Structure 1
Amino acid sequence: MTIQMLQCFEPGDHLWKMGGRFRGKLYDHHLIYKQRCADGHLIIENSFRARGVVEKCLSDNQLSVYQLYERPADSAACLAKAEAALVEKRGYSLLWYNCETFANDCTRGNGGSMQVRRATGHVALLSTAASSAVTSATVGLVTSTHKTVHVSDQGCFGLWKWLGYTHPVVKTVVVHHPAGIAAAAGAACGCCVWTVFAAFGRDAKKSRSR
């Protein structure tokens, strides 16, 4: 990213980047851009490592990996809220007040986290599919049952058969297991929903292209 592109960032901008671990697939990082300074750029972020809201100075190279996520309607109010959280020394919470929650709260007063919602959605769908698959594997797709059938008597040179005499015989037959079939269908449905969720549940504001 060039210096010209870096200068597009304005005070109060909500920036984001892909996380550094696992090729950026595990998490994204969010922060509030403050201003250019002598050594680079001042930003305010809710840091997992620092366990709270901190102000940092990033070099041009460090800032080059960030992209604009959202530009607030009121930049001054956004920065004021970020600096207030800095003064209050607000702590970090992975679920309730992470870096994305902090940046969203400053930008538009709504501190939700798309990453947390996606993660909980993945866990819920995975749990549903896995539990259904385990149930299906445990009970099986088929089961055996005993069924009484009547067969013709063959005695007296077939006379009893000719006269229509029969006798009951208990046979073991294989039938579909209703619970196993239902569990397998539930697992398949859960996997399909999970695939759709993973493919189309992405944050539209994030562009993965560089």
Structure 2
Amino acid sequence: MSFQPGDHLWKKGGRFSGKLYDHHVIYKAKDANGHVIIENSFRAGGVVQKILSDAKLQPYELYERPCDAESCLARAEAALSERRKYSLLFYNCETFANDCLHGSGGSFQVRRATGHVALLSSVSSAAATSAAVGLVTTRHVVVHIPEKGMFGLWALLGFTRPEVKTVLVSHPLGIAAASGAACGCCIWSCFAIFGRDPRKHRRRPGH
């Protein structure tokens, strides 16, 4: 089955083996020259219409099929004349595609990246604090040791004398910071594993 007009398509970005970002477009139609798509392009600085060959379209997968394809395409074509500038955070290719389908934008990629940055900042701060203060510290304590003299008689009679000694103890702030960093790493791992976009199915529609 081929893509239908209004379909929201996605593919892995071209740079760094597609690990940094995904690209989203709206499929418009197929004509004699190829496949017509509308996208919000970083290079063009805004929404543009392009024609892709079968080979250029091949990497794309179906992200979401609109309930109302006509409204989706109407929003996409209206965006062509609005000349709204591309914004990585607020109006990227995914935001544009979601806006066409639902009438309101939003980018899962931006939310996910923001979550990674927040967790990285939290873990780094906790780790830096733990490294700065250390896990242990020293403390001066007074101990009483048996008094020497008179061939041990004073000790037998219970006489003692105070003596200050330096001992190692756990640092409360360092331990708390290290625990926070470890906990943050666990949360970050869970976020990376389970926080993936559920709509990204690596298959062609109808397969």
* Aligned equivalents of 1:66, 1:100: Cα separation in 2: 14
Aligned to 1:88: 82
Aligned to 1:207: 201
1:100 to 69, 80, 94: 94
RMSD between aligned alpha carbons? 1.1
* Aligned equivalents of 1:201, 1:110: Cα separation in 2: 22
1:171 aligns with 2:162: no
* Aligned equivalents of 2:73, 2:203: Cα separation in 1: 28
1:52 aligns with 2:46: yes
1:72 to 66, 91, 94: 66
Shift of 1:110: 2.7
Aligned to 2:143: 149
Contact 2:61 2:203 in 1 (8 A): no
2:15 to 11, 14, 21: 21
Structure 1 segments, 4+ long, off by >2 Å, are 207-210
Aligned to 2:55: 61
What's the secondary structure of 2:150's corresponding residue? helix
1:136 to 130, 140, 145: 130
* Aligned equivalents of 1:55, 1:192: Cα separation in 2: 43
1:43 aligns with 2:37: yes
1:30 to 9, 21, 24: 24
Shift of 1:112: 0.8
* Aligned equivalents of 1:189, 1:169: Cα separation in 2: 41
Residue type of the alignment partner of 1:101:
T
* Aligned equivalents of 1:208, 1:66: Cα separation in 2: 9
5+ residue gaps, structure 1: none
What's the secondary structure of 2:99's corresponding residue? helix
Kindly indicate whether structure 1 or structure 2 has the higher relative contact order, using CA contacts under 8 Å at least 6 residues apart. Answer: 2
Give the structure-1-normalised TM-score. Answer: 0.95
What's the secondary structure of 1:83's corresponding residue? helix
Contact 2:61 2:202 in 1 (8 A): no
Identical residues among aligned pairs (%): 69
Shift of 1:208: 4.1
* Aligned equivalents of 2:30, 2:203: Cα separation in 1: 25
Give the structure-2-normalised TM-score. Answer: 0.96
Residue type of the alignment partner of 2:87:
S
Shift of 1:207: 2.2
- How many residue pairs align between the two structures? 204
